[in-house]
Structure 1
Amino acid sequence: MAQRILALEFAGDRVRAALAERSWNSLNLVGMYDKVRADDETDLGGALSRLVAETGRPDIVISAMPADRVAKRLLELPFKDARRLHQVVPFALEEHLPFPVDNGAVAFTRVGREADHTLVMAAMVRKTELKNHLDLLQKAGLDPKTVTLAPLALAAMFTRARNGAKPAAHLVVEGDESSTSVVLVDLAGAPRALRSILGGLMRSDGSVVSADAAAPILNSVRQTLLAQGGEIDQTEVILAGAAAAYPQVRGLLSDSLAMPVSDGSTFDYTGIFEGSVPNTGKYSSCVAMLLGELPSKPLNLINFRQGEFLFRGRIRGDLSPFYTSGILAAAILAAIIFHFGIGVYANLHRLSQVNAEIAAAAGPVLGRTDPANAKAQLKTGIAKMNHRLTLIGGNLTHSPLDTLVAVSQALPTRFPVEMADVQIDSNGLRVTGQADSFATVDQAKEALEDSGYFGSIEVAHAKAGSDPSKVDFRMDANFKGVTPGVARDNPANGRDE
C-alpha cells in the first residue's frame, strides 16, 4: 500500500504543503495546497487543521523551520568517521556563533568530501523555537518525522533535475513578500553558501518593493554570487518560490546581477517524480523536501529531530517498531531448536549404547537358539529409549524455554532493547545486546527483578555503542534460589560511558 507523505512550510500567515504518494519504486506528486490564517486565529494551528482535513491524515510528515530562525555554517572537518562528526560538529559550529549551542538543537548533513576531509552543512535552532514548531503541528495532530531546512533541499532538487544544459553551478534565490533565501551550489553539486534574509523583493500583490527595501537583499545576493569566484560565468541564477511567478521580480534581480535569471519551473522533474509535475512555483520548497523520502537514493536532509526531540512516532508500513519483537522471537525459536537438537543428539547416543549392550548380552546368552526372545528384549530396550527422547531439558533445574518465556513476559511489548546473544546455563541467564539509552538498560533490569523468576541481577557491562544512539550492554541474571557458581568469563563491574 502506498504511503502518503506531506511536506509543510510556514510562510508568514500561510501554510503551504505538497502531498505525494510513495510506492516501493516510485514517488507521485498528488497535489499542492495553500491555507491562510483566519483573522480571528492567533496562530497557524487552524490553517493546519483545515489543510489536514482536505488532504487526509498523512503517513509521514516533513516540515521546515523558518530559515531566518536557523543559524547555519559550512564546515570542513579533517576526518570522515560519522561518530566523530556527531561529536565534533556542535563544538565546531559554536566557534562560528556569538552564543553557545547548549540551548540549541544541532543537526548537519554531509555535502561533500575532499581527500580525508568532510564538508558538512551544520545548522542550529534554539530549542524553544523547535518546541514551539512541534507544538503547533501537534495542534493539528501531526508529528513530523523530519524537521529540516527547506532552502538546502530546494538547491539539491535543482541539482538533481535536468534542464537540458551542461552541468553548471547554481545560485538559487527563493523568496516571497516576507523572506528571501540564497543558496550557492558549485559545479560538483555541493552547497558553498546559504543565507536567509528578512524581507522580500515583492509585495503581496506581486509588485516589486522600493529600491531602498530591495538594496540590502540584492547586495546579499550579489555577495553570495561573488563567493563563487572564477566560476561566476558558469553559474546559473534560478528564482524560485512565490517571487518566481512575477516577471518584474526576475527582471529586478537580473538587472542587479547583470545576468540572466531563469525560473525553476523550466526544469525537468520526470527523473525524480513519476507522471507529470505541474509548475511548482511557490510550492517549490515543499516539493523539494519530498526528495527526502524517495524510494531510492533519498536526499539526505538536515533533521533537527535529534536528542530530546528524536522522532518516536509510528509510521504505517514501517516495520522498524517490530524489530525488537522479531529479534526476541527469533532468539526464542533458535534456543528451542538448539535445545531440541542437543536433547535428540544425547538420547540417540544413549540409545546406540543400549542397543550395543543388548546385542552383546543377547548373543552370548541366547546365541541362535532363541531369536524371538532376543528380538523381544531389543524391542523393549528400543521402546524405553524412544520414550526418553521425549524428555528434553530434564538435566537442568530451569528449562531454557521457561527462562526465555519469563524474560519475554517481563519485558513490555516493543521495549527498545535488541538482544544479540542469549546464553543459559545451570546458574542463570546472560544477555548481550543494544538499548536506546542507559535508562532503558536499568528498566530492563528492574523488569526482570519484578518477574520473580530471577534472584540477583547485575548489569556487568554498559557503554555507548558504534551507533551513537545505542548503548551496548551485558546483563547476568541468576536463577532464584540458585547460588551463583564460578564467575563467568570477562566479568566487568560498573558501567562504561
Structure 2
Amino acid sequence: MSMIAECVGLDIGQTALKAVRFRRRLTGRESVEYFHQPIPYGRQEHTEPAYRTAMLRNFLWQHGLYGSGEIVTALPCQDVFVRTLSFPFRDASKLAQIVPFEMENLIPMPLEDVTVGSLLLPARESLEGQAKAKGSDVLVTAAPKTKIAEHLRFMASADLNPSVITVDGMALFSVSQFLKEEGAQVPGDMAIIDVGASKTTLCLVHEGRPVLLRTVLWGGNHLTHALAVRYACSFAEAERRKRAMSVQEIDAWLEPVLKELRVSLHAYEGTIHQRLTHCWVSGGGSKLKELSGHMAQQLGLLPVGPRQGFGSSCPRAFSIAFGLSIHPNIVRPRWKSRLAGSNLALDFKASSDAASDTTEVSKRDRRLALWGGLILALLVLGDLAVRVALKDSTVKDLKRGLQTQYEQTFGPGVNPGDELDQARYRVSQLEKGLSIVDGTRYNVLAGLAELVKHVPQGVPLKIRELTIDGTSIHLEAETTTFDAVEKIKQSFMANETLHDVSISDTRVGAVPNQVVFRLTYTAQRP
C-alpha cells in the first residue's frame, strides 16, 4: 500500500548520529524506526569535517536511509536569533512586511545577512475560553545565511539535500504536539529540556504555544570531564561512573545548567506574570538516574509522566530526531482534526530559497533597469546632440546675418564686438571731414594758404606728405639746398602765429640738388 508521508529526521550531535524514519500509510497506520551510531569523542581527528562526513555517509548507507524519505535537519538554537514579538493586529500580510524590520532592531546583524522566519502563534484564550483575536504573538527566528550555507555544504558533502532545515527547539515542540494529537493530556504550560552531550536545548511552551527557544552550552560531556578530573580517570571511565552515580552525587556539577535554566524560566514567567507547571527532560542526558525529577524539583516544576503521554514509548533519547521526522510541512495528518498549533513549523531552506528567488528577480530587475537607463541615457544624449546642432546652426546663421549687416554699416573687414569704438571712430572721421567744410575746427585750407605765405621768395618747395591734426601740421618736403631748408625754418620761426617750429630728418635726396626734410609746427587758431 502506498505511503502518503515518509520522512527521516536527522540529528547530528557531537557524540552520536541519530535518525528517525517516520512513515504514515493511507490507512493511518504509522511506523517509527530509530537509528543510532556513537561517534568517538576526545580525539582531534574525530572533529574534522571529512571524518564526520564519512561517518554520516556510512551511517546512512548502513541503515538504508538514502532515498527512503525526505530528510529534515536542524540548526541549534545557539546559531539562530529567536524572539517573540507582539503586535496589535493579526493580518498575516501586514505581519510579513513588518516582522523583518522589527527583527532588524533586535539582532546585531544587517537584515540582508540573515534568513528570517516567523510563526504566527495561535491566539491566547481568555478566562471565559474565548480566543483573544485582536492582537498577535509571533515567534521570529533569524538564521545567519553563512550558518545555513555551512550546514548545506556539510549535507552536500554527504550526498544529502535536506528538504527542510528547522531549529532543534521547534523539533521538541513538535513532539509534544504529536503526543497531543495522539490523545495524550499534554500540559499546556511546560518546559521541555533536552540534555545533549555538548549543549542543553530549552523550549518553553505556554498555553500550547512555543514562546522561548534557547541553547545552554552545557551538556553531558561537561559532567563527564568534571568527573574525569575529580577521579583522575579517563573519559571513558568517567562516562561509566556517571551512568552509575545517583543525581545527588553529581548535583554540584549540575548547578551551572540549572542556573541558566532558572534565569530563562523566571525571566519569561516575569513577563507573563504566570508560572509554568510541568517539565519534560529528554535527550541522551536524561538517562542519568533521577535527573528528570531532580531538574523539575530544582526549577519548581512538576515532572511529566505516563499520565501526560510521556511514558516508556515516548522517544526521550531521540526527541529531536523524532520531532524532525514529523515536521508538519511533510507529515500532515489528513484523517484527524488539526489541533491549534499543530501546524507550527519553521523552514529556513524554504525561506532561503524564496529569498534567493527574490534576489534573482531583484538582480534581473536591476539588470533590466540598468539597460533601460542606458538606453534612456543614449536617447537623451542623442536628443541633446540634435538640439545643440540645431541651436548651433541657428546661431551661425544669426552671426552671418549680423556680420552682413555690420559690414553694410561699418564696412568690410571690421569684426563685430567693438561696435561702440567703431561708431566713435566713424563719427570722428565724419566730424573731421565736416570741419574742413564748415570751419568748426581749424580750417585746413586756411592753414595751407598760411603755409604758402611763409615760404621765402625764390626758394623752391615741394610737399611730399602733409598731415594736419587740428592745429598741428606735419609735413615732409624737398628743396634744392640745405641753405634753403634753413631759410624756410627761419621764415616760419619769425611768424608769431606759428609755434613749436622744428626741422628734422634733413637728408640728401636720391637725385642731384634734392634735400628732403620734415617740418613740424603748430598754427595759432584764428
Coarse TM-score class (shorter-chain normalised): 0.5 to 0.7
Whole-angstrom distance in 2 between the partners of 1:70 and 1:87: 21
The 1:250/1:55 distance shift into structure 2, 3 A limit, reads: same
Corresponding residue for 2:346? 302
**What pairs with 1:247-326 in structure 2 (closer than 5 Å)?**
247-262=289-304, 268=309, 278-289=313-324, 290-292=326-328, 293-296=330-333, 297=338, 299-310=343-354
**What's the CA shift for 1:146?**
0.9
2:100/2:116 contact within 8 Å kept: yes
C-alpha deviations, 1:175-214, integer Å up to 9, x for none?
A: 123111122211x211232221101265454466965653
**What's the CA shift for 1:139?**
1.8
The 1:259/1:95 distance shift into structure 2, 3 A limit, reads: same
2:90/2:133 contact within 8 Å kept: no
Whole-angstrom distance in 1 between the partners of 2:297 and 2:351: 46
**What's the CA shift for 1:25?**
5.6
**What's the CA shift for 1:60?**
0.8
1:26/1:295 contact within 8 Å kept: no
Whole-angstrom distance in 2 between the partners of 1:438 and 1:103: 16
**What's the CA shift for 1:71?**
1.3
Provide the alpha-carbon RMSD of the alignment: 3.6
> Is 2:139 the partner of 1:98?
no
> Is 2:192 the partner of 1:172?
yes
Whole-angstrom distance in 1 between the partners of 2:186 and 2:143: 37
Corresponding residue for 1:147? 165
Residue among 22, 35, 44 paired with 2:24? 22
AA aligned opposite 1:284:
S
Taking structure 2 as the reference length, the TM-score comes to: 0.53
2:7/2:331 contact within 8 Å kept: no
Whole-angstrom distance in 2 between the partners of 1:285 and 1:30: 14
1:6/1:60 contact within 8 Å kept: yes
The 1:166/1:89 distance shift into structure 2, 3 A limit, reads: closer
Whole-angstrom distance in 2 between the partners of 1:300 and 1:151: 12
Whole-angstrom distance in 2 between the partners of 1:295 and 1:24: 12
Q: What SS does structure 2 have at the residue aligned with 1:136?
A: helix
Residue among 123, 128, 138 paired with 2:156? 138
1:5/1:19 contact within 8 Å kept: yes
**What's the CA shift for 1:245?**
2.0
Corresponding residue for 1:374? none
More helix per residue: 2
The 1:305/1:84 distance shift into structure 2, 3 A limit, reads: farther
**What pairs with 1:403-482 in structure 2 (closer than 5 Å)?**
437=361
Whole-angstrom distance in 2 between the partners of 1:441 and 1:228: 48
Residue among 283, 286, 294 paired with 1:244? 286
**What's the CA shift for 1:24?**
4.0
> Is 2:59 the partner of 1:51?
yes
AA aligned opposite 1:128:
T
Whole-angstrom distance in 2 between the partners of 1:248 and 1:34: 23
Runs of 5+ consecutive residues of structure 1 not aligned to the other structure: 271-276, 313-415, 417-435, 444-457, 459-497
Whole-angstrom distance in 1 between the partners of 2:24 and 2:296: 38
Residue among 217, 231, 234 paired with 1:198? 217
**What's the CA shift for 1:288?**
1.5
The 1:195/1:308 distance shift into structure 2, 3 A limit, reads: closer
Corresponding residue for 1:117? 135
C-alpha deviations, 1:58-117, integer Å up to 9, x for none?
A: 331110112211111111123333333332222211222233333122112222334232
**What's the CA shift for 1:37?**
4.0
Q: How many residues align?
A: 316
Corresponding residue for 1:345? none
Whole-angstrom distance in 2 between the partners of 1:182 and 1:176: 11
Q: What SS does structure 1 have at the residue aligned with 2:162?
A: coil
More moved, 250-259 vs 171-180: 250-259
Corresponding residue for 1:423? none
Q: What SS does structure 2 have at the residue aligned with 1:185?
A: strand
Whole-angstrom distance in 1 between the partners of 2:136 and 2:27: 31
AA aligned opposite 2:347:
N
> Is 2:2 the partner of 1:8?
no
Runs of 5+ consecutive residues of structure 2 not aligned to the other structure: 124-131, 225-238, 373-526
2:21/2:34 contact within 8 Å kept: yes
The 1:237/1:85 distance shift into structure 2, 3 A limit, reads: same
Corresponding residue for 1:392? none
Corresponding residue for 1:224? 264
AA aligned opposite 1:177:
A
Q: What SS does structure 2 have at the residue aligned with 1:91?
A: helix
**What's the CA shift for 1:167?**
4.7
Corresponding residue for 2:430? none
1:158/1:267 contact within 8 Å kept: no
The 1:27/1:223 distance shift into structure 2, 3 A limit, reads: farther
**What's the CA shift for 1:284?**
0.8
1:183/1:193 contact within 8 Å kept: yes
**What's the CA shift for 1:224?**
3.2
Corresponding residue for 2:406? none
Taking structure 1 as the reference length, the TM-score comes to: 0.56
